[in-house]
Amino acid sequence: MMSVRTRTIVIGDIHGCLEELQDLLSATGAAPADQLICVGDLLGKGPDSGGVLRWAKGTPNLRCVLGNHEDRLLRAWRAGKTPDEKSSDTETARQLGASFGEAMQFVSEWPLFIEEDDFIVVHAGLDPKIAQLDRQSRETLLTIRTLQDGKTPWYEEYSGKKLVLFGHWPRPAPVRRTNAVGLDTGCVYGGSLAAMILPERRLVCVPARKSYRTKKDWPSELR
């Protein structure tokens, strides 16, 4: 009998792009036997955060790490406020509608990282000077892009053996290094939605149907 090895499909920042998510699941041939992991920022900025959240809740083979957008929504929810810090959060809450509280309850269970024998999934990245994952600060895990010089990407100094899969920093193409893979390819800005299939490390990207943000909101990396 042939042994069937479980695949893990790690998915980049979805930001409410439900149609592209469905395209990506088709392109990867995702099946219930696969383990799915999202790098966080499933919600916010994009067209259908409610639909993406319903998909997440209804997908038992999925795990998610927390993204900074979910974290900001959670903080507002815990403070008993409708998010108003940024207009895109207000729009996200509107898309979630009556299920906002239920959504936040669900998201509040997401961890800051997932560590397996041969990989780590985290939203933004790691401080390369700190070897232990559980000693990384919440702020770092959710938001790091560069080191303190403001220009060196954190992963250029990361020397760990374990592969880190991350999102948070939209780029025209995935960041692909021996021990770090960046999967935010700016779908919500009209780029693409990326996934990496493990253990073979195959990248799959599907193009965005359109840009869901006006050009003035685009990060400089995508202009």
Task: Please report, as ranges, the residues that interact with Mn ion according to CB under 5 A.
Answer: 41, 67-68, 168
Query: Shortest approach of Mn ion to residue 220 CB, angstroms?
Result: 16
- Residue 34 or 70: the one with the smaller Cβ distance to Mn ion is 70
Query: Shortest approach of Mn ion to residue 164 CB, angstroms?
Result: 15
State which residue has the least CB distance to Mn ion: 168
Query: Shortest approach of Mn ion to residue 3 CB, angstroms?
Result: 37
- Residue 47 or 67: the one with the smaller Cβ distance to Mn ion is 67
- Residue 41 or 127: the one with the smaller Cβ distance to Mn ion is 41
- Residue 7 or 170: the one with the smaller Cβ distance to Mn ion is 170
Query: Helix/strand/coil (H, E, C) string of the chain?
Result: CCCCCCCEEEECCCCCCHHHHHHHHHHHCCCCCCEEEECCCCCCCCCCHHHHHHHHHCCCCEEECCCHHHHHHHHHHHCCCCCCCCHHHHHHHHHHHHHHHHHHHHHCCCCCEEECCCEEEECCCCCCCCCCHHHCCHHHHHHCCECCCCCCEHHHCCCCCCEEEECCCCCCCCEECCCEEECCCEHHHCCEEEEEEECCCEEEEEECCCCCCCHHHCCHHHC
Query: Shortest approach of Mn ion to residue 144 CB, angstroms?
Result: 11
